[in-house]
């Protein structure tokens, strides 16, 4: 294991290679052994697990994952850091570095190519200290593509973690909470102070565990309409649901009122008061009304 557990060692490695942490790529390197091991523990890695890491950086988490997993496939966008990363992970034969933008990757195809025979059924874990500028896009890329993941253990900004786990009635509850909770069961495993990174970010973080559901949390006949209804409901948080739907769904007022009544929802409520189940019911009645117009 290369020495990556202190600010001075990380600085030394960067200087040696004439590199600087690239802010625009969200490069805040973990320098705390305890936090790295807590992340690995949270992922409950078994020795036959395949783990995907997004943004390995200098490889601190990559090496710790490789100690436990069968194979680690680490996807890094920064071509400048890759030679250093390769040098740092060199002692591990079970680490594969892929130079790519994680947002453009079909992870099932990648994992299949790197770790499984064609016919085998397979599943894998994602473990990452995510670059903060693309936290939500990465999470949604992994979930909406319905990749064969069973677990995601990810470091994100504390504020984003709170939004993801929030329930109805909370100020943090919104589209991100519903979208993630539709596909997964999220929980905050532990909070992380900004002092364990170099360079130090402006905000605190948290490690989130998402257990991916076999089937979505609620049944909906039309998934894209479900998300359209949710976007309409949260387009203006202060608006009542009746007015939100009037703006976002192409139905006359009388039909919107009927849809709400049939779904058992008070039109004077706001989007933030409604549960996933309420949104699912609402979507099914909206679909029925739309198909009759
Ligand atoms: N895992 C390392 C650690 O914990 O010290 C580095 C984490 S750092 C917060 C985020 C890493 O993601 C950086 O190495 C950055 O270059 C990489 N990254 C940024 N955007 C990316 C993308 N679209 N695809 C893959 N990697 C990306």
Distance CA 259, CA 289 (A): 7
Measured in angstroms, how far is the CA atom of residue 79 from the centroid of ligand 1? 11
Report the DSSP beta bridge partners of residue 52: 73, 126
Asked whether residue 217 is domain-assigned, the answer is no
- Quick one: 275 and 183 in the same domain? no
Residue nearest to atom 6 of ligand 1 (CA): 57
pLDDT in tens, the chain (293 residues): 667 888 999 999 999 999 999 999 999 999 999 999 999 999 999 999 999 999 999 999 999 999 999 999 999 999 999 999 999 999 999 999 999 999 999 999 999 999 987 667 799 999 999 999 999 999 999 999 999 999 999 999 999 999 999 999 999 999 999 999 999 999 999 999 999 999 999 999 999 999 999 999 999 999 999 999 999 999 998 999 999 999 999 999 999 999 999 999 999 999 999 999 999 999 999 999 999 87
The rounded Å distance from CA 28 to ligand 1 centre is 8
Exposed, middle or buried, 142 (CB in 10 Å: 0-12/13-18/19+)?
buried
- The DSSP bridge partners found for residue 156 are 206
Domain final residue pick, 162, 179, 212 = 212
Give yes or no: residues 197 and 234 share one domain.
no
25 touches ligand 1 (CB under 6 Å): yes
Question: How many domains is the chain partitioned into structurally?
Answer: 2
The pTM assigned to this predicted structure is: 0.96
- Position 145 in a domain: yes
- 1 belongs to a structural domain: no
Query: Cα of 215 to ligand 1 centre, how many Å?
Result: 30
CATH of the domain at 163: 3.40.50.150
Last residue of a domain, one of 178, 212, 246: 212
pLDDT number for residue 219: 97
CA dist list (Å): 279 to 181, 231, 285: 13, 11, 10
Q: Considering the domain boundaries, does residue 218 fall inside one? A: no
pLDDT of residue 278: 98
Scanning the structure block, which residue is given the tokens 């009635």?
169
Contact call for residues 135 and 186 (beta carbons, < 8 A): no
> Across the chain, how many H-helices and E-strands are there?
12, 9
Token representation of residue 30: 């973990």
Residue 57 Cα, ligand 1 centroid: separation in angstroms? 5
Q: What is the helix (H) or strand (E) element at residue 244, kind and residue range?
A: helix 241-248
Residue 31 CA: nearest ligand 1 atom is 5
Taking the C-alpha atoms of residue 267 and residue 243, their distance in angstroms, rounded to an integer, is: 8
Of 14, 131, 140, the one to substitute when testing ligand 1's pocket (max ligand atoms within 8 A of C-beta) is 131
Tokens (6 digits) for 135: 């936290």
Residue 236 is part of which domain span?
Answer: 223-291
Query: Is the CB of residue 56 below 6 angstroms from any atom belonging to ligand 1?
Result: yes
């Amino acid at each position: 294991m290369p020495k990556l557990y202190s600010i001075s060692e990380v600085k030394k490695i960067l200087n040696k290679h004439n590199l600087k942490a690239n802010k625009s790529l969200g490069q805040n390197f973990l320098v705390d052994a305890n936090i790295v091991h807590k992340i690995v523990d949270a992922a409950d890695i078994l020795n036959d697990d395949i783990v995907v890491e997004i943004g390995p950086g200098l490889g601190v988490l990559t090496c710790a994952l490789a100690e436990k997993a069968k194979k680690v496939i680490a996807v890094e966008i920064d071509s400048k850091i890759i030679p250093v990363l390769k040098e740092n992970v060199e002692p591990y034969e079970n680490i594969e570095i892929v130079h790519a933008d994680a947002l453009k990757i079909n992870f099932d195809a990648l994992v299949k190519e790197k770790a499984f025979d064609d016919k085998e059924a397979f599943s894998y874990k994602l473990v990452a200290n995510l670059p903060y500028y693309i936290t939500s896009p990465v999470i949604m890329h992994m979930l909406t593509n319905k990749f064969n993941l069973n677990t995601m253990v990810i470091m994100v900004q504390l504020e984003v973690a709170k939004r993801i786990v929030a329930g109805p009635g909370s100020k943090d509850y919104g589209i991100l909470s519903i979208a993630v909770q539709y596909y997964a069961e999220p929980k905050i495993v532990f909070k992380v102070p900004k002092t364990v990174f170099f360079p130090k970010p402006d905000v605190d973080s948290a490690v989130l565990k998402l257990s991916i559901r076999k089937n979505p949390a609620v049944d909906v006949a039309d998934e894209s309409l479900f998300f359209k209804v949710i976007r309409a409901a949260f387009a203006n948080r202060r608006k009542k649901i009746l007015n939100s739907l009037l703006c976002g769904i192409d139905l006359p007022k009388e039909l919107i009122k009927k849809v709400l009544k049939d779904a058992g929802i008070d039109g004077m409520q706001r989007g933030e008061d409604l549960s996933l189940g309420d949104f699912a019911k609402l979507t099914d009645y909206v679909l029925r009304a739309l198909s009759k117009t």
